[in-house]
Structure 1
Amino acid sequence: MRKRADQVAQTRERIVEAAVHLHGTVGPAATTVAGIAAVAGVTRLTVYRHFPDEEAIFAACSAHWLSRRVPPNPSAWAQVADPAERLRVGLTDLYQFYRDGREMLTHVYRDMAVLPDTHRRTLEDRQELFHTLLAEPFPADQRIRAVIGHAISFWTWRSLCLDNGLSNAEAVELMSALADLGR
């Protein structure tokens, strides 16, 4: 019995790792159950025995990928009262997460429209939380909110750091200065 349970767990782990690999290389939109099965070395039926639908696969893939990362810590940002300092702390944390997960995040954000609804909403809700926490100590001004919304975007980070060669620190400094102009 123990050996069988270990084999089942190992098979499940291979399937999840295959999904993580494919989501991080071709993206969720191009990942198929057949592709996951091929990479994991199992049949499509075996994938479905472990995961009844794409939402279950995506949930397991996300949990596995996130378990190997240091996620942003918005509760730590909320402890910083000074608006400019909170923004710097939050962006530093967020940009490090983006850099560490850039391959996967590029594909996930690119494929947002095809993600399972619960996962897409979770990502959107998380971005809204980040936006709210970082904008909260600033005066209520649409320009500042717009700058902060732009600054927390993965695509902004990607453009500044990957496409244009800035370091995370330089990008944080630039986005903080832009927010300061709006005050």
Structure 2
Amino acid sequence: MKRRAYQLKRRAESAEETRRRLVQATFELHGEQGIAATTMKQIAERAGVGIGTVYHHFPTLDDTIMACGQMVMATYPPPTEAIFAGVPTMKERLLRLVRALFEYYDNVAFDLVRADEDRLPIVRTFVGEELQHRIALTRAALAPFAIDRDLIRTSAALLDVRVCRSLQQIDLTRDQAAEAIAEIIHARLVRKD
């Protein structure tokens, strides 16, 4: 009986290792060529397994994308309200918010996700979730200051990965881009109409 239990445990460990390799292969391919361009065959080749093994673990391409997304979220969790702990001023809270989001975008290569949002519904779902998180985090940053809902949403829009990348394309560092956006948002929020 012990031998059978040992064999089952080894088989389960092997299956988990195969699944991990498949997710890692998916992640690498997404980074190299984009999500929409990645195929099950490429995943199998990268992971060193047969195509049937990929389908055994992930019956659909969406399943591979979901598993990859879950791995990324576990490895690089998005920033939380904890970044505002002990920070009383609006300006500093905004700077922490922008820096945290821009760093997150670099860690997860979110611009690659955005590039395929119109091609794959599951990717559009991830993009929508990121937007809702960004709005909620912006609301949390500005909660002590009674900022209008529309201004919160406008501020959150300025924190999009595409804004970050646009600023980096004009040779601003990530920190310089974050400081510029935080300053722009702050100036608008404290402006007297």
For Structure 1 versus Structure 2, the TM-score category normalised by the shorter chain is: 0.7 to 0.9
| Alignment partner, residue 176 of structure 1 | 182
Amino acid at match of 2:64: I
**What is the deviation of 1:17?**
0.7
Using a 3 Å threshold, how does the CA distance of structure 1 residues 128 and 78 change in structure 2: closer, same or farther?
Answer: farther
Shift of 1:16: 0.6
Q: Is the 8 A contact 1:138 1:144 kept in 2?
A: no
The TM-score with structure 2 as length reference comes to 0.78
Match of 1:95 in 2: 102
**Which ranges of structure 1 fall in alignment gaps of 5 or more residues?**
none
CA contact 1:14–1:40 (8 Å) conserved in 2: yes
Q: CA RMSD in A?
A: 2.5
Name structure 2 gaps, 5 residues minimum. Answer: 1-6
Alignment counterpart, residue 110 of structure 1, candidates 115, 135, 160: 115
Return the offset for 1:110: 1.1
Letter in 1 for 2:175: A
Separation of aligned partners in 2, 1:75 and 1:40:
37
Contact 1:144 1:179 in 2 (8 A): no
Q: Matches of 1:73 and 1:139 in 2, distance apart?
A: 19
SS at the partner of 1:152? coil
Provide closer, same or farther for how the CA distance between residues 151 and 67 of structure 1 changes in structure 2, counting only shifts above 3 A: same
* Shift in Å, 1:140: 2.1
Q: State the Cα distance separating 1:105 from its structure 2 match.
A: 1.7
Specify the structure having the higher radius of gyration (Cα).
Answer: 2
Give 2:48's aligned residue.
41
Identity of aligned residues (%): 27
